[in-house]
Amino acid sequence: MSATRLQYRKLNDEEIRASLGSLSGWALEQGVITKTYSFDAYKDGLVFAVAAGYVADKLNHHPDMLVGYDKVKVSVSTHDVSGISPYDIELARRIDAL
């Protein structure tokens, strides 16, 4: 899906639940969708975080990422709509594809 076809609109609770059902490991936590990825080594998490940042920047949608020793937690929401938008779901899909 191209960024030009997505909309900055707030998804309702039903749309969020349905979207999360198609994403493995993502959950709604305090108004953002999150997923924690695990890695064998710190450097692998760093490489993943850089790749996720590149994917996000191409979509012009930027997640928060917390890089730990063997984990990277990605958190996504759309500030313009004060909630979850189709951009968040699409970014989650693209990050999962890495």
The domain limits of the chain are 8-96
pLDDT of residue 18: 97
**Euclidean distance between CA atoms 71 and 34, whole angstroms:** 13
Assigned CATH topology for domain 8-96: Gyrase A; domain 2 (3.30.1360)
For 27-54, give one letter per residue: b (16+ CB within 10 A) or e: eeeeebbbbebebeeeeebeebbeebee
Chunked in runs of 10, what are the mean pLDDT values of the chain (98 residues)? Answer: 68 96 96 97 98 96 96 96 96 97
Whole-model pTM: value is 0.91
pLDDT of residue 8: 82
